[in-house]
């Protein structure tokens, strides 16, 4: 009885078949980081005006949690915004470190 050769979809073979998601992921991360950076700058400009509507702190944290950790941290220090709040000074860099650790773990997992 003849057996058919069925190659395994391992490593890069799977990416050849379905296309690499890396350009899409890189585009998303670029946009979300620009968005988080812009939110920090916009909120800082609103903070200078009396009675202006502000962006909620949870929105700023959510933009960092969704992948914009670098943009949020850079925006916090460039605009000197929310630097007196301990939960921003410690929270945003911790989010960024967790995202870097996740990226390193994924990179090692995908190359094995």
Q: Say which DSSP state 56 is in.
A: -
Whether 97 maps to a domain, the answer reads yes
Residue 42 lies in domain: 21-111
Whether 12 maps to a domain, the answer reads no
Whether 6 maps to a domain, the answer reads no
pLDDT reported for residue 19: 72
Whether 2 maps to a domain, the answer reads no
Whether 63 maps to a domain, the answer reads yes
Whether 91 maps to a domain, the answer reads yes
Counting as low any pLDDT under 70, the low residues of the chain are 1-18, 112
> In whole angstroms, what is the distance from residue 85 CA to residue 89 CA?
6
> In whole angstroms, what is the distance from residue 61 CA to residue 85 CA?
13
> In whole angstroms, what is the distance from residue 9 CA to residue 103 CA?
23
Indicate the number of domains in the chain. 1
pLDDT reported for residue 21: 79
């Amino acid at each position: 009885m003849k057996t058919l050769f069925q190659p395994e979809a391992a490593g890069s073979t799977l990416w050849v078949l379905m296309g690499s998601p890396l350009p899409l992921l890189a585009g998303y991360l670029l946009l979300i980081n620009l968005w988080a950076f812009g939110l920090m700058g916009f909120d800082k400009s609103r903070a200078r005006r009396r009675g202006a509507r502000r962006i909620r702190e949870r929105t700023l944290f959510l933009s960092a949690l969704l992948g914009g950790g670098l943009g949020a941290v850079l925006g916090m220090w460039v605009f000197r915004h929310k630097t007196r709040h301990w939960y921003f000074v410690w929270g945003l860099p911790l989010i960024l470190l967790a995202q870097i650790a996740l990226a390193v773990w994924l990179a090692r997992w995908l190359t094995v």
